[in-house]
Amino acid sequence: MVKKCLELFQELSENKDDYAKFYESFAKNLKLGIHEDTANRDKLADLLRYSSTRSGNEMISLQDYIDNMKPEQKSIYYIIGDNKTALANSPFIEVLKKKGYEVLLMTDAMDEYCITQLKEYKDHKLIDCTKDDLDIPLSDDEKAAKEQQKAELETLCTVAKSVLGDKVEKVVISHRMANSPASISTAQMGWSAQMAKIMKSQPLGGDNMLMSFMLPKKTLELNPDHQVIQSLRKRVADIDNVDRTTRDTIWLLYETSLLTSNFELDEPTVYASRIYKLIALGISDDADIEDDVEDVPTLEDDAQVDAAEENVMEEID
């Protein structure tokens, strides 16, 4: 029965319109089969269809993806989330798109379970773009520039880790972003941001030992070519003298990166307070700032704000 069904599905896939209707109704069942049926995993993988950064409104197979790969490309890149548009504009894939690499956009919760079991397709590894070990092919000049920037921003990475504490596992320089200043990736072992959201929504997904062990270990990745990061680098030249404005900017950078990286904010009201303060500083006269703008609470302590607050908007500009 299973063999006959697979033959029927394969035959049906040859007609794009008919298969699109079938896939819309039974995609979750096929993905569940990949998760559970080891013997037929490869045949079921042939039946998968996904949107991509280059497919427009069409859905492509994994074989279609391989046929369109660049000569130097060895892996299949994918990203999982809730919204196709948000995924297509994710900071995680900015450089991949700029280099012309196609990225599969997966918006079904079942994809997390499916891809975890599939891992590779026809000798091509499936690479999660939100993980911290994303391997992007670089030229010799790009590798040399990366090492130089890593040395230049070492102090900023140290300061950012000190400010954020155990909120992040580490702070590193990354070349996966083209337009965004920062993103938050997760370790290869453990859940992705999307998987953590799925598990937390389960009826029995409360705090337990497994949840604590599998929760994503966050890595704050900084884009060395972005103006915000370069401005911060100049401000932390003296590692022992980091002012309040710089610390607040680092927190804002981290919290905004949480949102763009598909995480949930730990303290939404604190983040909102920081944004409101930026708005107030931007539209108020300097003489009014000290009287009208209240101190923003910080996650690390409740210490009082420095007597003279600097104009954050000017620093960012």
Q: Based on the domain organization, do 23 and 117 belong to the same domain?
A: yes
Q: Based on the domain organization, do 219 and 90 belong to the same domain?
A: no
Last residue of a domain, one of 106, 128, 150: 128
Q: Based on the domain organization, do 211 and 72 belong to the same domain?
A: no
Question: What tens digit of pLDDT does each residue of 183-239 get?
Answer: 999 988 878 888 888 887 776 655 555 566 677 889 999 999 999 999 999 888 777
What's the pLDDT score for residue 290?
46
What's the pLDDT score for residue 204?
62
**Angle between the N-to-C axes of helices 154-164 and 140-152, in degrees from 0 to 180, rounded to the nearest 10:** 60
What's the pLDDT score for residue 197?
83
> Can you tell me the distance from the alpha carbon of 303 to that of 315, in angstroms, rounded to the nearest whole number?
23
Last residue of a domain, one of 98, 128, 158: 128
| Total domains in the fold of the chain | 2
What's the pLDDT score for residue 135?
80
188 located within any domain: yes
Question: What are the start-end ranges of the E strands in the chain?
Answer: 51-52, 76-80, 103-106, 120-121, 124-128, 170-173, 182-186, 218-222
> Can you tell me the distance from the alpha carbon of 310 to that of 281, in angstroms, rounded to the nearest whole number?
9
This prediction's pTM: 0.83
Domain containing residue 275: CATH number: 1.20.120.790
Last residue of a domain, one of 73, 99, 128: 128
Q: Based on the domain organization, do 257 and 198 belong to the same domain?
A: yes
Domain containing residue 72: CATH number: 3.40.50.11260
**Residue 79 · residue 143 · CB < 8 Å:** no
What's the pLDDT score for residue 312?
39
Task: Tell me the two tokens of residue 273.
Answer: 């307070």
Between the alpha carbon of residue 273 and those of residues 10, 183, 219, 251, 289, the distances in Å are 55, 21, 24, 12, 15
Q: Based on the domain organization, do 214 and 301 belong to the same domain?
A: yes
135 located within any domain: no
Q: Based on the domain organization, do 9 and 106 belong to the same domain?
A: yes
Q: Based on the domain organization, do 276 and 300 belong to the same domain?
A: yes
What's the pLDDT score for residue 129?
94
Mean pLDDT by 10 residues, the chain (317 residues): 92 92 94 92 95 92 95 92 92 94 94 91 94 82 85 93 93 93 89 83 62 78 94 83 87 94 90 89 62 45 39 43
Q: Based on the domain organization, do 145 and 181 belong to the same domain?
A: yes
134 located within any domain: no
Q: Count other Cβ atoms within 10 Å, centred on residue 132.
A: 20
Q: Based on the domain organization, do 270 and 179 belong to the same domain?
A: yes
Q: Based on the domain organization, do 170 and 276 belong to the same domain?
A: yes
Closest alpha carbon to 223 in 139, 315, 150: 150
Q: Count other Cβ atoms within 10 Å, centred on residue 289.
A: 16
221 located within any domain: yes
Q: Name the residue range of residue 158's domain.
A: 140-316
Q: Based on the domain organization, do 98 and 219 belong to the same domain?
A: no
Q: Based on the domain organization, do 223 and 265 belong to the same domain?
A: yes
What's the pLDDT score for residue 206?
54
